[in-house]
Structure 1
Amino acid sequence: MEQLVNKYSYKLVQAKLGDISGPLQPLIGGLDDTLVWNRRANEIPVLEKVFKGLNINSLVFLRPKEPYGSLIRFLAKNALKSFGMIQPKDCETRTFLHDLPVISQFCPDQIIHTLKKRKSVIIAPQKNNKDFQGPAIIAHGSVSPEQGFITISSVCFASFVKFFTDYLQALQLGIATPDEHDVFDSIVPLLEPIQKSPSKFIPSPFSNEEIVYSAIIEAGKKIVEYGLVDSFFGNVSFFWNKTLYISQTGSSLDELSGCIDPIPMDCSTSAGITASSELSAHLETISVTGCKAILHGHPRFCVILSMDCDPKKKAVCNFKKQCHIKCPEKRFVEHTPIVPGEVGTGPFGLCNTLPSALTQTNSAIVYGHGLFTIGKNNFSQAFQTMQEIENLCYSTYCKKVRLLRNMTS
């Protein structure tokens, strides 16, 4: 357990969600035969009471570093003025977290009460509190600290997407507040465009199955390393020798060794049972495009722009509560289409909406979900496209904000 609490503390630092030391250093506790922590901290006595009140084996506590700290503080403050919930609208939150509960006190009873119903809780004191500095996020696990790591990563992602989505909509409606402007202006200088990769991928063609596995593992690590997805979500696949090799459902993209399933295109085995939940979309994309490599990540500004819609048009749209599966608008970020669709094979499944979009171009954004890119022969092409599209979405978002702010100034 000691190895695990240290591992996931380091992964939060690698993801730029926490610091290597100081008050923003992750605090993780794991219960085996004894309760162990990755470091000493003043919060431990309260968190030990939380352990006693829940049937869990791990807790992850994080004061998120910037820009997450400021935007979560802002969202939490507004949530506490209403019913104590932050409600993002991206796909990851809708399917995994639902909503983000907020409390104002670092109190074991309140934390226990909330974590009995949700995977996480945000603590955000509304007044200067010398005893507790917020905001902070707490998440739990019943099997491994990995569960808390995944949840906190998702809370930070969802909060980021919600703040920037809400801010753009507020500008479009002319209702952005001075507080929103201040938060935006303070955190934008901290954002960094996705760095263009100077590194090389394993060159194609791949001569044997072992190289195929190595290439998929390498691609997964790079998607996480460059911040194009948090490690738990997204997927990777490659078509070789009449077989689609795809990351397993629930696998960490930066730890894919032993987590890749070979799926014959004729579906003659049951290997697909453990494959990515988006297997059907990958199989259909391979069939209709002839590509070999597929990458799927959740780049933040791709997700944000995918949900950008004229608020006045949306107000009268018949599908305004089903945008993610029924959006009727043909929307693009330059040449990259934005398509609706959900995981699975139903009438609104991605296998019905995504592949046809990828026959026209080598990238497609799924509403509120993420970005899919394809490579004709290798992952290098798909990865470069993913970087370019996310940087394009970031610059497009900033241009929209500047234009709207200039119109109201």
Structure 2
Amino acid sequence: MLKIFQQLGRDLFISGLISSHGGNMSIIDGERVHITRSGSMLGRLIDGDVVVTGLNVDDGDFKLASSELVVHRAVYRHTDARAILHAHPPYAVALSLLTDEDIVPVDSEGAYLLKRVPVISAKETIGSQEVAEKLPQALSRAPISVLKGHGSFAVGSTLAEALQYTTALELAAKIIWLSSRHGGRR
């Protein structure tokens, strides 16, 4: 399992979708959540950087888990997600600061895969109960959502599927951003 987290974490970092210590990922296996450790470097995950805790119980290594554990748990409880990937894609985050509306991809891949990407707002954006309450609703209508000014949360049956939505969103956001500089729509 560590190898999958390592591969996806490296892909996120190389793609510029996270900073050295940013982002987090998890998968659910029954009632157990496997989630990246708080402060881990996703691009260089090592043994011990993926911790296991309960979906509904603070057991195992929950104190070591990402600060977004409360959000991951809420998404698992209220959606059919099997994997969650949280990143900080710069163009998508920039677009989220310019609108309170969904991001609507104008490129073919983004339009096909994503259609509309909900943008949600919260006073406390990192690991808050407010995000835990709002995000599952957004992810029940789309495979990825952007938390205004913070980052994206993608869900899938695997981490690879969640990565696909994350990279498609960032490319779509970049295309919107670049085309808007030349008279295209935002």
Q: If the length of structure 1 is used for normalisation, what is the TM-score? A: 0.40
Residue identity matched to 2:77: S
Q: Whole-Å Cα distance in 2 between the matches of residues 229 and 344 of structure 1?
A: 17
Corresponding residue for 1:290? 80
Q: Whole-Å Cα distance in 1 between the matches of residues 4 and 89 of structure 2?
A: 21
Corresponding residue for 1:343? 126
Corresponding residue for 1:198? none
Give the drift of 1:276: 0.6
SS of 1:350's equivalent? helix
Per-residue CA deviation, residues 88-131 of structure 1 (Å, 9 max, x unaligned), is xxxxxxxxxxxxxxxxxxxxxxxxxxxxxxxxxxxxxxxxxxxx
Residue identity matched to 1:224: F
SS of 1:280's equivalent? helix
Q: Whole-Å Cα distance in 2 between the matches of residues 381 and 242 of structure 1?
A: 21
SS of 1:254's equivalent? helix
SS of 2:181's equivalent? helix
Q: Whole-Å Cα distance in 2 between the matches of residues 268 and 279 of structure 1?
A: 10
Q: 1:316-331 maps to which residues of 2 (within 5 A)? A: 329=100, 331=101
- Equivalent pairs counted in the alignment come to 170
Q: Whole-Å Cα distance in 2 between the matches of residues 287 and 391 of structure 1?
A: 30
Corresponding residue for 1:362? 143
Q: Whole-Å Cα distance in 1 between the matches of residues 133 and 91 of structure 2?
A: 24
Structure 1 residue 380 and structure 2 residue 150: aligned? no
Corresponding residue for 1:262? 52
SS of 1:294's equivalent? strand
Residue identity matched to 1:339: I
CA contact (8 A) 1:216 1:238 kept: no
Corresponding residue for 2:108? none
Q: Whole-Å Cα distance in 1 between the matches of residues 83 and 147 of structure 2?
A: 18
5+ residue gaps, structure 1, are 1-211, 310-328, 405-409
Give the drift of 1:270: 5.0
SS of 2:84's equivalent? strand
Residue identity matched to 1:375: G
Report which stretch shifted further, 359-368 or 251-260: 251-260
Structure 1 residue 222 and structure 2 residue 5: aligned? no
Q: 1:48-197 maps to which residues of 2 (within 5 A)? A: none
Q: Whole-Å Cα distance in 2 between the matches of residues 380 and 273 of structure 1?
A: 26
Runs in 1 of length 4+ with deviation above 2 angstroms?
none
Residue identity matched to 2:92: C
Give the drift of 1:374: 0.9
Q: Whole-Å Cα distance in 2 between the matches of residues 393 and 333 of structure 1?
A: 8
The structure showing larger relative contact order (alpha-carbon pairs under 8 Å, at least 6 residues apart) is 2
Q: What is the root-mean-square deviation in Å for CA atoms of aligned residues?
A: 1.5
Per-residue CA deviation, residues 269-316 of structure 1 (Å, 9 max, x unaligned), is 15211111111110111111111111111111011100014xxxxxxx
Give the drift of 1:217: 2.1
SS of 1:333's equivalent? coil
Q: If the length of structure 2 is used for normalisation, what is the TM-score? A: 0.85
